[in-house]
Structure 1
Amino acid sequence: MHIDISTLAPSQVYHLLTQTIIPRPIAWVLTDSGESNYNLAPFSYFTAISSQPPLLMFSAGNKPDGELKDTVRNVLDTGKMVIHIASVDLAEKVTQTSATLAHGISETELAQLELIDVEGMDLPRLAACPIAFHCSLYEVKEIGDAPQHLVFAEIDRVYIDPKVILPREERLQINALDINPLCRLGGSEYAILDKTFSVVRPK
């Protein structure tokens, strides 16, 4: 089956891409809406794009009414965010925080998620997540007619749960199965990472 993308509506393209580019990691992004009122939202158009500078990128559309999503609005206002990697046991709470809410309503409070203050950082992290990237805004680029906002985040500090770190002398190694990351598929589907394997790269 061959599909001519130009014949599809944007919503059809979205559903096609989210069902074929799989699995996708999820950026669970915490930002400050003002006066320590924390917004939290998941984005599965997400990846690492550079090591020098250390950059992550996620893509956010607008709200149904055309307004900026709170995450984008907040990072433009404050320049700070914390991007978490959620584990499978947090699937319900990740999904709960995807709801469109009025600006200023805290998803962390609605989902009853514990926050931990981090010395030297402007924002706390989620206690339940094994990985957290404390980031500063590098750039926001608007693309398309919808539009989408590409948020480029420069990593300042990384939290890694010691329980997922393997004992190695040469360099840091993390056990992906111990992280048990929540993997995004299409529609309302998620996947579980239950096996890893290695293939030696050519020299």
Structure 2
Amino acid sequence: MEIAISDIAFQEKYKLLIGCIVPRPIAWVTSLGEDGVINAAPFSYFNVASIEPMMVSIAIMRKPEGVMKDTARNILTIGQFVVNMVDVHNVDDMNQTSANYPPDVSEVEALGLDLQPSALVKVPRLAASRIHFECKLHQIVELGTPTTSDLILGEVVHVHVADELYEDGKIDAKAFSPVSRLAGHSYATLGELFDHPRPVYTPDAENK
């Protein structure tokens, strides 16, 4: 199958990308509006952007009319947000926050989600998550002409990790039990884990 991108429509591009680029980690983002409304929403176009400085990236698609989603607008206005990581214990709550709530309605209040204060940002974190990245906005990159997506680059200024997940400076993946996004309505857990040590190049290898 050969697919010419210029020949396919938006929905086909969407299905191709989300079906091929899997699994995707989920950023369950809390943000704060100018009116004090606490927003919570999940985004699966999310990943590591940099180690030093420690940064994450989240791409937030705009609404069909080109209007920023609540999370992107809040981050642009307040300059802070929290990424609450998703696992098998909170995936149901996370999914509930994906509904299209009006800007003046807090998903946190509507669903009765518990909050905890953050250490360095004024945006609270979700108690249901066991890993939190407190972030300050580094940059927003507008993608498309006209803009169809806002790429958020956030600098991580503080991290919270539950004690049972952290050992010898590493996250215990099995204890964490993260949940990732697939296509459609599908999600995935870790499944089978296996190791492949990175090979070391040696000049002798060229002669074999």
Q: Does the TM-score normalized on the shorter chain lie above 0.5?
A: yes
* Greater C-alpha radius of gyration: 2
The answer as to 2:182 corresponding to 1:185 is yes
Cα 1:132/1:178, change in 2 over 3 Å:
same
Q: Which runs of 4+ in 1 moved over 3 A?
A: none
Bigger shift: 116-125 or 184-193?
A: 116-125
- The 5 A counterparts of 1:49-128 are 49-128=49-128
**Equivalents in 1 of 2:177, 2:96: separation in Å?**
19
Report the TM-score, using the length of structure 1 for normalisation.
0.92
**2:132 partner amino acid:** A
Q: CA deviation at 1:42?
A: 0.8
Bigger shift: 78-87 or 34-43?
A: 34-43
Give the equivalent residue in structure 1 for 2:206. none
**2:136 partner amino acid:** S
Give the equivalent residue in structure 2 for 1:196. 193
Unmatched 5+ residue regions in structure 2? 201-208
How high is the sequence identity, in percent, across the aligned residues?
A: 36
**1:24 partner amino acid:** R
**1:69 partner amino acid:** K
**Equivalents in 1 of 2:188, 2:16: separation in Å?**
17
**2:165 partner amino acid:** V
Aligned length: 199
Give the equivalent residue in structure 1 for 2:204. none
- For the 8 Å contact 2:182–2:188, the answer to whether it is kept is yes
CA RMSD of the aligned region, Å? 1.4
Give the equivalent residue in structure 2 for 1:150. 151
Bigger shift: 103-112 or 15-24?
A: 103-112
- For the 8 Å contact 2:80–2:121, the answer to whether it is kept is no
Report the TM-score, using the length of structure 2 for normalisation.
0.90
Unmatched 5+ residue regions in structure 1? none
**Equivalents in 2 of 1:39, 1:183: separation in Å?**
21
SS in 1 for 2:89: helix
**1:149 partner amino acid:** D
